[in-house]
């Protein structure tokens, strides 16, 4: 991708699982229909009062898009789904889609992918994120660090050429918060290829 000055500086390759036979499968239909209130670390019910207003304030410190970077913007939207699921204490795709303004198909796919790989139950960074939200949610620097660690861990475990292409397709150019991509990728762009 061409440099815009707005690239993500994550320190890891967003295409990390190319060719990984364990993580290259697409989520199954069964995973997409998984119960919406089960597993750890998601609490049953919101972690704190006014979580929706708190998520709405997310845009002040967690950008909804990276100008000209479809893959990076999809990664940020992935993080918004995770943060919303943990804050809301739910895996209900309709509720998360409503609060993030992301397409319901995108939200459902992300949640199903995480379920398919048993990632809700297996990663310490998710526990750290939940603890940070409970004890330090007003310290946006700490929340951002915990969110970045959780999102990177999850992405590195489940992002493949196929799942990234599907997330880009389902995101349909929409950003969390309701904005839209203002750039156009070449036809057939899958998020994996470098432009």
> What confidence tens digit (pLDDT) does each residue in 154-194 have?
999 999 999 999 999 999 999 999 999 998 877 667 666 54
Would the pLDDT of 27 be above 50?
no
Q: How many domains does the chain have?
A: 1
Q: Of 18-32, 94-108, 154-168, which gets the smallest average pLDDT?
A: 18-32
Cα separation of 75 and 161, whole Å? 13
Mean pLDDT of the chain: 77
In a domain? residue 194: no
Domain that holds residue 77: 29-171
Per-residue pLDDT, averaged over 91-110, amounts to 95
- In this structure, is residue 182 part of a structural domain? no
Distance CA 187, CA 168 (A): 12
Q: Give the confidence band of 98 by pLDDT, cuts at 50, 70, 90.
A: very high
pLDDT of residue 162: 93
Would residue 189 count as lying in a domain? no
Q: Which stretch of 4-18, 58-72, 165-179 has the lowest confidence by average pLDDT?
A: 4-18
pLDDT of residue 73: 95
Tokens in use for 142? 């700490």
In this structure, what DSSP letter does residue 129 have?
Answer: H
Q: Using omega within 30 degrees of 0 as the cis cutoff, is the peptide bond preceding 41 cis? A: yes
Which one, of 25, 125, 53, 139, lies nearest residue 82 by Cα? 125
pLDDT of residue 135: 92
Q: Is residue 177 part of a domain?
A: no
């Amino acid at each position: 991708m061409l440099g815009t000055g707005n690239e993500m500086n994550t320190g890891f390759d967003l295409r990390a699982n190319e060719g990984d036979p364990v993580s290259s499968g697409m989520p199954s239909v069964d995973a997409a229909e998984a119960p919406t209130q089960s597993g750890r670390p998601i609490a049953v019910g919101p972690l704190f009062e006014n979580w929706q207003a708190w998520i709405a304030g997310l845009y002040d410190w967690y950008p909804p898009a990276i100008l000209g970077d479809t893959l990076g913007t999809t990664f940020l939207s992935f993080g918004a789904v995770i943060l919303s699921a943990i804050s809301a204490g739910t895996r209900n795709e309709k509720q998360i889609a409503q609060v993030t303004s992301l397409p319901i198909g995108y939200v459902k796919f992300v949640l199903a992918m995480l379920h398919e790989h048993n990632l809700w139950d297996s990663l310490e960074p998710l526990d750290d994120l939940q603890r940070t939200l409970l004890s330090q949610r007003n310290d946006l620097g700490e929340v951002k660090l915990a969110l970045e660690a959780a999102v990177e861990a999850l992405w590195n475990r489940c992002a493949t050429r196929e799942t990234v292409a599907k997330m880009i397709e389902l995101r349909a150019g929409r950003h969390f918060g309701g904005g839209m991509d203002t750039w156009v990728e070449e036809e057939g762009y899958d998020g994996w290829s470098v432009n």
